[in-house]
Amino acid sequence: MSLQVQGLHAGYGRLEVLHGVDLEVGTGELVAVIGANGAGKTTLLRALSGLLKVRDGTVLVNGTDVTGKGPEKLAASGLAHVPENRLVFPTLTVADNLLLGAYTRRRRPSAERDADRERALALFPRLADRLGQAAGTLSGGEQQMLAVARGLMARPTVLMLDEPSVGLAPRLVGEIFTALGVLRDDGLTLVLIEQNARAALAIADRGYVMDRGRVVFTGVPSELLGDARVQATYLGGDFSPAGGAGDGEPRPAGGSVAMEGG
Amino acid sequence: MTDLLQLLFAGLSQGAIYALIAIGFVAIFAVSGVINLAQGEFAALAGLVAISARASGLPLPVAVVVAVATVAVVAVVMERLTIAPVKAMTTLVSLILTLGVSTALKALMLLVYGPNAEGLEAITPGIVTVAGVSIRYQDLWILLVAAVVSAAVYWFYDRTVTGKALRACAEQPVAARLVGISLGRASLISFLIAGIVGALAGVLSSPVYFTSWESGLALGLKGFVAATLGGLVSIRGAVLGGFVLGVLETLTAGYVSTGLRDAVAFLLLIVVLVVRPGGIFGRHAEARV
């Protein structure tokens, strides 16, 4: 088990957003976490990567308790978080963004990091042509690829991605999700937070559906896609702006009509 | 013509001191948004420590090393005691905190070293005359050291992993933490850099401009103006800002009035902030995110 989360509570100020989330991710598994805007998906990732204080519950990475550690420590213990809105380092070059992705491994031999970089670039070949370019000058899709590649440079136990499809053209979403599938096939463990539920479930091994700070449903993609309650949760659910996904709302994949039939 | 050259040279030497102080402001501000009002005190303290170390019989190079090391420690301790513990640091809070440290350092210097202004002995005493322009050897040292230090700082941010990590903190603090960079450590390193460059400015300028417990005020203000001219987040901008300010000041003093000398910095600052808020050399998109 690469990642085990039990009874996780977290929030902002007096507002509790997560009311006891349980999540298990097996080694080599790609797990999608879906749910409407405001369901607590981003909050979950922020709590897992230490950006947000865990108020209660435990987080185990490879069986080791990492609850309450800060992001700097968690990055070193194998949790890589590819944040919402990419957050590449804009004036640094693509090469330097990748270099800093391996910051926790900066004392490792450079040959090892070079090999990792080659692997990441093989996954996203268009980054290879732009190594010397400032990351801020890349297109949105390229910045997302860079953010994923930067996360990979840490050689994570679990790679966690927050809404990698936001604001991207469908073709680019396809490219990135294909890459995630390749990573899973290579044995990497992934947690994918997505509002674009259909795209996420298309590549996931299992899915969790969140609503108002709780996991309300879990299962394999075919179960989730076929379940009426799930459709209600992420398609008919609460689209309040409080969740912070901001602009670039992904379309409810395919529309609700296509989802009928469970 | 000789007058102009003489003034230009004096301005460059003065500007090199401002540039070093300005680098200190930028090093800290870019990483954490903290404006360190004690930056000038770093320079004054270094001058006073070097003078007293020299007076106690240490050779000049050793006295300089002692002074720079002392100020580096003071800067690091200051960061740990007053900056690191603050959970939600804002630029405004930092102004109040560092003003407090500045005041405390001034009081301490007055207590320990007394009220008199003194000058450290020059690295190479004397004057050389080139084409009618008389140049203090110390001015040459100032320019040399400022050039080497500026280049070294620039290299550090541009080429080393630690330097790039500091820039990452400045640009995307959240993403920097997610890749494992500690913002606390980054802030500490930025104060260390600011302490060292400030101290160098202090020991270099002391033989020419003299040092007292209160000489940090003027140095700090001018350095801050120079850093702001350069956009407050760019090392290159800070260095250029320092030289521009130094030259304009001496030209004003030479051709207009010495009384206007200190007003130049602030007039220039007002004009630049109104016309080009990102600094004279700043592409305005370069501002901190």
User: What values do phi and psi take at B179, rounded to 5?
Assistant: -90, 0
Other beta carbons within 10 angstroms of residue A26's beta carbon come to 14
What tokens were used for B143? 């320019």
Chain A residue at shortest CA distance from B182: A72
Which pLDDT band, with edges at 50, 70 and 90, does B283 fall under? low
Task: Give the list of residues 6+ apart from residue B28 with CB closer than 8 angstroms, or none.
Answer: B34, B35, B36, B39, B187, B190, B191, B194
Residue A96, min C-alpha distance to chain B (Å): 7
Chain B residue at shortest CA distance from A151: B179
As a whole number of Å, the end-to-end CA separation of chain B is 46
In chain A, alpha helices (H): 41-48, 71-76, 94-101, 110-123, 125-128, 140-152, 170-185, 197-203, 221-226, 228-234
Give the pLDDT score at B282.
60
Residue A9, min C-alpha distance to chain B (Å): 21
Residue A221, min C-alpha distance to chain B (Å): 29
What tokens were used for B229? 């001219």
Task: Give the list of residues 6+ apart from residue A69 with CB closer than 8 angstroms, or none.
Answer: A50, A77
Which pLDDT band, with edges at 50, 70 and 90, does B286 fall under? very low
- Distance (Å, whole) CA A251 – CA A166: 10
Q: Specify whether the CB–CB gap between A215 and A21 falls below 8 A.
A: yes
C-alpha dihedral, B146 to B148 to B153 to B158, nearest 10°: 140
Higher model confidence: residue B276 or residue B144? B144
Nearest CA-CA partner of B16 in B150, B118, B158, B157 = B150
Question: Which residues of B make CB contacts under 8 Å with A?
Answer: 161, 164-165, 167-168, 171-172, 174-182, 286, 289
| Lowest mean pLDDT segment, chosen from A235-244, B17-26, B253-262 | A235-244
- Distance (Å, whole) CA A240 – CA A243: 7
Give the pLDDT score at A256.
36
Contact B180 A103 (CB under 8 A): yes
What are the structural domain ranges in chain B?
2-286
Assess A72–B contact: CB distance below 8 Å, yes or no: yes
Q: Specify whether the CB–CB gap between B218 and B59 falls below 8 A.
A: no
Which pLDDT band, with edges at 50, 70 and 90, does B46 fall under? very high
Give the pLDDT score at B53.
97
What tokens were used for B245? 């300010």
Please say if the pLDDT value at position A229 is more than 80: no
- Picking from B174, B178, B235, B288 by the largest number of A CB atoms within 10 A of its own CB, the best residue to mutate is B178
Please say if the pLDDT value at position B179 is more than 50: yes
Contact B171 A75 (CB under 8 A): no
Give the pLDDT score at A240.
36
Give the pLDDT score at A52.
94
Give the pLDDT score at B228.
93
Which pLDDT band, with edges at 50, 70 and 90, does A123 fall under? very high
Assess A89–B contact: CB distance below 8 Å, yes or no: yes
Contact B179 A83 (CB under 8 A): no
Residue B249, min C-alpha distance to chain A (Å): 33
Higher model confidence: residue A249 or residue A113? A113
CB proximity under 8 Å: A 185-214 to B: none
What average pLDDT does the structure give for chain B?
Answer: 93
Q: What is the DSSP letter of A76?
A: H
B126-134 mean pLDDT: 90
Contact B179 A101 (CB under 8 A): yes
Give the pLDDT score at A234.
66
Contact B177 A51 (CB under 8 A): yes
Q: Helix (H, G, I), strand (E, B), or coil: what is residue A7?
A: strand
Nearest CA-CA partner of B1 in B132, B89, B130 = B132
Q: What is the CATH number of domain B2-286?
A: 1.10.3470
What tokens were used for B118? 């003194």
Assess A71–B contact: CB distance below 8 Å, yes or no: yes
Set of chain A residues whose Cβ sits within 8 Å of the Cβ of B286: 91
A139-150 mean pLDDT: 96
| Lowest mean pLDDT segment, chosen from A16-30, B134-148, B258-272 | B258-272
What tokens were used for B260? 């206007």
Set of chain B residues whose Cβ sits within 8 Å of the Cβ of A91: 167, 171, 286
What average pLDDT does the structure give for chain A?
Answer: 87
Give the pLDDT score at A257.
36
Other beta carbons within 10 angstroms of residue B281's beta carbon come to 18
| Lowest mean pLDDT segment, chosen from A34-38, B53-57, B119-123, B139-143 | A34-38
As a whole number of Å, the end-to-end CA separation of chain A is 31
Higher model confidence: residue A260 or residue B259? B259
What is the pairing mode between strands A30-35 and A189-194? parallel
Please say if the pLDDT value at position A246 is more than 50: no
